[in-house]
Amino acid sequence: MEKLIITAAVNGAEVMRNHTPYVPYTPEEVANAAVESADAGASIIHVHARCADGTATQDKEVYREIIERIREKSRVIVQVSTGGAVGMSAAERADVITLEPEMATLTSGTVNFGDSVFYNAPADIEQFAKLMAKHKVRPEVEVFDTGMITTAARLMQKGWLAGPLHFDLVMGVPGGISAEMTNLLHMVSLLPAGSTWTVAGIGRAQLPMATAAILLGGHARVGLEDNIYYAKGQLAKSNAELVSRVVRLAGELGREVATPDEARRLVGVRNNL
């Protein structure tokens, strides 16, 4: 079985300080959370840019500072969000790709996102894919339901995405596919041949989905973007705390954890460090 890639989604766009005081906002805070998570065992760091008051932003210069601060202290893979926050335009969300980070998310469809809609028109998805190819950014295809897997496969057939693909199966968002084992097995069965996959369980689903990934040969995403609790009623005090738990579980279950360079090889990320 391949070594386990742990992704730490350290802040997201929606989690605020009134939800948990531990979510990082500023580039310095995000970078510190990233380095701590890498030291705990994460090999990919998924980041969103925030303003000082916590408001989500896709400002390229904020992302640049985050990446540079992380690079000063760690070889961890930095994966930027092109999802931004619900309501942002596709052009606004895509600009960060021109920084040429090692990885970026590419959501392959539209999904109801709680009381909002995360909108991704087919033409916009193609443009994201083309821009990532132009700037040699490795996409992580982010899917919230099974039809998005089909869309990604179609983009690969058209030549806009180069296989084998790497997927992030986001499960448990209200409006998307629910985080159940039968659904995870079904989604994995639909992936194009040769694909690698990570599962992101939302809220209380984070731990069982991460455990399933360890057992099934997939990879795990944890972090305060997806889940702010370590246990029922107990806030996680850091992203690193959530990463460390998965490292311990993987050890108990006999699965080695990948280093950043091993993760680069496994998911096809170019090494530009």
Q: Can you give the pLDDT at residue 87?
A: 86
Q: Can you give the pLDDT at residue 273?
A: 58
Which whole number is the average pLDDT over 194-210? Answer: 98
Other C-beta atoms within 10 Å of 66: how many?
28
Closest CA to 60 of 91, 95, 34: 95
pLDDT category of residue 272 using cuts at 50, 70 and 90: low
pLDDT category of residue 241 using cuts at 50, 70 and 90: very high
Closest CA to 90 of 131, 41, 50: 131
Mean pLDDT of the chain: 96
Q: Can you give the pLDDT at residue 85?
A: 83
Q: Can you give the pLDDT at residue 249?
A: 98
- For the cut 70, the answer to whether the pLDDT of residue 22 exceeds it is yes
Asked if the peptide bond before residue 164 counts as cis, ω within 30 degrees of 0, the response is yes
Per-residue pLDDT of 44-97, as tens digits, reads 999 999 999 999 999 999 999 999 999 999 999 999 999 988 889 999 999 999
Other C-beta atoms within 10 Å of 110: how many?
19
Q: Which two tokens stand for residue 174?
A: 């209200």
- For the cut 70, the answer to whether the pLDDT of residue 147 exceeds it is yes
Q: Can you give the pLDDT at residue 21?
A: 98
6-266 fold: TIM Barrel (3.20.20)
Per-residue pLDDT of 29-45, as tens digits, reads 999 999 999 999 999 99
Burial pattern 163-195, b for ≥16 Cβ within 10 A else e, equals: eebbbbbbbbbeebbebeeebbeebbebbbeeb
- For the cut 70, the answer to whether the pLDDT of residue 196 exceeds it is yes
Which whole number is the average pLDDT over 171-192? Answer: 98
CB 9 within 8 A of CB 30: no
How many whole angstroms separate alpha carbon 32 and alpha carbon 24?
Answer: 9
Per-residue pLDDT of 84-127, as tens digits, reads 888 899 999 999 999 999 999 999 999 998 889 999 999 999 99
